[in-house]
Amino acid sequence: MATFLCQEKKLLSMFSTHFKIAWRNMAKQKMYSAIKIGGFSLGIAACLLIALYIRQELSYDQHYPNASRICRAVIDWGNPNSTGTYFPAPFANALKADLPEVEQTGRFLDGELFGAGSCQIRPSDKQENTYEEGVLFADQELLDILQIPFVYGDAAHALSEPNTIVITKSKADKYFPHQNPVGKTLIVNDNTGKPYRIGGVIEDLPVTSHLQFDFLLTLKGIELWPGEQTYWLANNYQTYILLRPGTDIIKFQSKLAAFKDRYIIANAAKTGDKRIIDIVKKVHFSIQPLKDIHLRSDKIDDRLSHGDIRLVWLFGAIAGFILIIAGINFVNLSTARSASRAKEVGLRKAVGSDRASLVKQFLSESILFSFLSLLLGLVLAWILLPYFNSLSGKSLSMPWSAWWLAPLLIVSTTIIGVLAGLYPSLYLSSFQPIHALKGKINQGHRRSNMRSALVVFQFTTSIALIIGTFTIYRQMRYILDKKIGFEKDHVLLIQGTNTLGNRVPAFKDALSKLPGVKSASVSDYLPVTGTKRNDNILSIEGTSHEDAPISGQLWVVDHDYIKTLSMNIVKGRDFSIDMRTDSQAVIINQTMAKQLGLKDPIGKRISNTGSAWTIIGVVEDFHFESLRNSIRPLCLTIGNSSSIISVKASAADMHDLIGSITTLWKDFSPHQPIRYSFLDQRFARMYTDVQRTGQIFTSFAVLAIIVACLGLLGLSAFMAEQRTKEIGVRKVLGASISNLVMLLSQDFLKLVLLAIIIATPLAWYAMDRWLENFAFHIPIEWWVFILAGFIAVVIALLTVSYQSLRAALVNPVQSLKSE
């Protein structure tokens, strides 16, 4: 025991000595120590911030008790951009009845169908309405599957009766403070809606749930039209499945093919319509695990907000590269200053120190640097976190109280310190004492291939990030400035107008008479995401075209829709309120005319199941979804879709016009606040993820450049120091300051130029793959690479020239006095 305590004491004393020496060396070399610690701390801060981001992204839907057994149904229609999650109403019950692997199924209805999506809500004893988003219709079974914790009410029966509703705790506190609201009544969509009895209150959903809602209205007793709940050829419901424990996913998915034949194709055959049969034969069913929904749904149309697993790994790689760049600074500066430590190594070896002891000494220094960098990195991460949250659209926080944080940071920081210091420690401890004491160690090994390669790696990464930043920014500008087939500027969207009931036409007429209003249109179908959509099987009426049906959108609009959005009719005419037959007319886009094979579509009849319209016009293609997708076939027809009124305004004072519209709204709906937005803002919001990606790329590109330049600054300072006498001799012999600056800078510039050559194809490949996500995108221009390279050269030149200029301005008398 005494021997063990003695050894332990000796070990502690040894480490204490190592750290004392490390501290003295650090204090002696303030600039180099500041560069090492500063670079490391920036790398650690970047890693911490992105680690918080990745941790949240990967934790989506993990909180659901049966998350590993929950999945959702996915349908692929066999066409590009046609994978979705919408199924017929009876699909969920048929799955449960026919497939023994299914323990439970539940559906929800989103969007604007039947008032879902956003609504005006008020308690039955109040008159003032409040606009609320996050409104879904759902089965009781969906609650059973997700097992969301209940605050009040019976979880097993909260939505089991018609006209019941479940609300979140925050909404319960808003409408019924300090009360148990179960049994009370909420009025949904005043005038057009109905009262709903509160069946339960659930806990607020965490931000890491892909489903976000505050109000769940029951689907019990709901039919979108008579017979809809047993109709197999309309797809409106998203279906979630709870599988039994031990289910083989591959075998289960194989059974879905037979399920399709039994129900979908069989019901299509009953119609006798060969068009429908041909389309549903291409359908493919699959399931998607709950835990994959948030990050692996970029090609799936489900109208939900998602992350992207590719961005998660990309940002993780960027953070890792920044940390590597910081580590490279440590390695480069440590090996560059090897001559200043050579005599120390020689002396230690001469008095009996072995190589292992020296390695421990240098690793202790590295670990000390690492821990000091960690402390500073934590402070930087805490300071930068609000900025990073605004960039990423997250609400991240430092998990100070988490039990795992301190051990994780200590272990990871030690590993980083060891990895960063391993090569320098092995390199420095390898010096032969006789050579070291005689000063025969090469002064810093300034021509070290290893060090040059590391500098090239630093700037290759930085230049690639610069190119990525430029490309993302240019794509964003292309999206926002591209001619999209309609006029999005000066268009005001008034939402929730369906609550006016049969007074919507009167309100529209009154709007049209206001000064500054050019025209107004009533339609929930708009060319921005978050508005109504549908899919229909459409074809030209007549036997000669029965074999060529297509899937397309059928939008219900009014007579002023095309005029209000400034769309362009390329053939035929617009709708006319004076033409009664236009109620049975349709205007198609150019894509639909092309896919139907119609060179002269005017006068042709286009049909859907049970309905047909005469084509009176062709509208120029306009983008109604993200530019990630190609333009799909679309028809416009006259009908009632009254939740949104679009107002085309003149470029005059918008503030006065909004005031006039608000006053008019209060006359029509005194107990309901007006809600409005602008079409151009809604359009830009479709690309928020692209904007955020660009901002994050820019921030980390700047950070990578700063860290790389810190290392370059340290190396250039050391090289200038080592060549002080050479510079003095050259000045005495007549060398100009510009010649001396170029002499000291040219080696570094060669490395940066090599980095440009390496970064160019790598960045081109990465950006080409990224742009593939967009059906419409910019070309990758050659000048982007030249500009990025030029910026890198200028930054490197400024960094190196600062130290070079200082060295060149030194009086040669001082440089040579020791000679």
Is position 384 within any domain?
yes
Share of the chain above pLDDT 70, in %: 81
**Crossing angle for the helix pair 309-336 and 449-481, nearest 10 degrees?**
150
Residue 239 and residue 104 share a domain: yes
Cα 223 off chain centre by: 36
pLDDT-based confidence at 191, cuts 50/70/90?
low
Boundary (domain end) residue, out of 650, 683, 709: 650
Least confident window among 2-6, 111-115, 313-317 = 2-6
Is position 405 within any domain?
yes
Residue 431 and residue 387 share a domain: yes
Residue 111 and residue 92 share a domain: yes
- Say how many Å lie between the first and final Cα of the chain, rounded: 61
Q: How far apart are CA 166 and CA 144, in angstroms?
A: 13
pLDDT-based confidence at 692, cuts 50/70/90?
confident
Is position 188 within any domain?
yes
Is position 567 within any domain?
yes
With the CA atoms of 468, 471, 473 and 478 taken in that order, what torsion angle do they form, in degrees rounded to the nearest 10?
A: -160
Total domains in the fold of the chain: 3
Q: How far apart are CA 751 and CA 476, in angstroms?
A: 32
**Crossing angle for the helix pair 724-732 and 782-808, nearest 10 degrees?**
80
Residue 440 and residue 339 share a domain: yes
Residue 32 and residue 81 share a domain: no
pLDDT-based confidence at 540, cuts 50/70/90?
confident
Residue 379 and residue 402 share a domain: yes
pLDDT-based confidence at 69, cuts 50/70/90?
very high
Q: With left for phi above 0 and alpha for psi between -120 and 50, is residue 736 left, alpha or beta?
A: beta
DSSP code at position 205: P
Residue 507 and residue 605 share a domain: yes
Is position 795 within any domain?
no
652: exposed, middle or buried (C-beta count within 10 Å: 0-12, 13-18, 19+)?
exposed
pLDDT in tens, 2-45: 554 455 454 455 556 656 666 666 666 676 677 778 888 888 88
Q: Which pLDDT score, from 0 to 100, does residue 410 have?
A: 86
Boundary (domain end) residue, out of 650, 677, 708: 650
Q: Are 436 and 753 in contact (CB under 8 A)?
A: no
What's the whole-model pTM score?
A: 0.81
Structure tokens at 495: 């939402």
Task: Name the residue among 291, 279, 309 with its Cα closest to residue 82.
Answer: 279
What's the whole-number average pLDDT of the chain?
Answer: 82
pLDDT-based confidence at 445, cuts 50/70/90?
very low
Residue 214 and residue 132 share a domain: yes
pLDDT in tens, 226-244: 888 988 888 889 999 999 9
Identity at 542, one-letter amino acid code? G
Least confident window among 43-52, 532-541, 645-654 = 532-541
Alpha-carbon distances, residue 154 vs 140, 158, 206, 212, 476 (angstroms): 11, 6, 21, 21, 49
Classify each residue of 457-490 as buried b or exposed e, where b means 16 or more C-beta atoms within 10 Å of its C-beta.
bbbbbbbbbbbbbbbbbbbbeebeeeebbbebeb
Is position 666 within any domain?
no
DSSP per residue over 9-47, as a string? Answer: HHHHHHHHHHHHHHHHHHHHSHHHHHHHHHHHHHHHHHH
> Residue 222: is its pLDDT beyond 80?
yes
- Of 584 and 795, more confident: 584
Q: Which pLDDT score, from 0 to 100, does residue 432 have?
A: 60
Boundary (domain end) residue, out of 414, 445, 476: 445
Residue 408 and residue 544 share a domain: no
361 Cβ contact partners less than 8 Å away, ≥ 6 residues apart? 18, 21, 22, 348, 425
Q: Which pLDDT score, from 0 to 100, does residue 545 have?
A: 44
pLDDT in tens, 347-388: 565 655 666 776 777 777 778 878 888 889 899 999 999 999
- Domain extent at residue 21: 1-60+312-445
> Residue 92: is its pLDDT beyond 80?
yes
Q: Are 641 and 557 in contact (CB under 8 A)?
A: yes
Extended strands (E) in 523-633: 536-540, 550-557, 569-572, 585-589, 605-608, 611-619
Q: How far apart are CA 712 and CA 569, in angstroms?
A: 60
Least confident window among 263-272, 304-313, 388-397 = 263-272
For residues 695-704, give the mean pLDDT. Answer: 82
Identity at 631, one-letter amino acid code? I
pLDDT in tens, 595-606: 888 888 999 988
Q: How far apart are CA 722 and CA 339, in angstroms?
A: 10
Is position 46 within any domain?
yes
Q: Which pLDDT score, from 0 to 100, does residue 711 have?
A: 74
Residue 53 and residue 74 share a domain: no
Q: What are phi and psi of 672, to 5 degrees?
A: -135, 120
Residue 22 and residue 74 share a domain: no
Task: Name the residue among 493, 505, 528 with its Cα closest to residue 644.
Answer: 493
Identity at 569, one-letter amino acid code? I
pLDDT-based confidence at 558, cuts 50/70/90?
very high
Is position 479 within any domain?
no
For residue 580, the tally of other CB atoms under 10 A from its CB is 8
> Residue 248: is its pLDDT beyond 80?
yes
Residue 280 and residue 218 share a domain: yes
Sign of the alpha-carbon dihedral angle for 505, 506, 507, 510: positive
Q: Which pLDDT score, from 0 to 100, does residue 364 have?
A: 76
Q: How far apart are CA 283 and CA 270, in angstroms?
A: 17
